[in-house]
């Protein structure tokens, strides 16, 4: 069982590595698209009547 603090540290580390990845991609002119970003397209959102 992980403590809330360990969980927070792990999450921040994951975010930092993701940010670094995106920064490097932007500098290289590449574009990284996460498959997760397209898992739920906007057209899939059910709108209320």
Q: What is the pLDDT of residues 4-44, one digit of tens each?
A: 999 999 999 999 999 998 888 888 877 666 555 555 555 55
pLDDT of residue 2: 82
pLDDT of residue 20: 92
pLDDT of residue 10: 96
Statement: residue 49 has pLDDT above 70: no
Rounding to the nearest 10 degrees, give the CA dihedral for residues 20, 22, 27, 29: 160
pLDDT of residue 14: 95
Cα(33)–Cα(22) distance, rounded to whole angstroms?
9
Token digits of residue 19: 């940010």
């Amino acid at each position: 069982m992980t403590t809330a603090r360990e969980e927070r540290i792990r999450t921040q580390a994951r975010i930092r590595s993701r940010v670094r990845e995106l920064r490097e991609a932007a500098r290289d002119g590449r574009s990284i698209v996460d498959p997760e970003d397209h898992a739920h397209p906007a057209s899939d959102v059910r709108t209320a009547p």
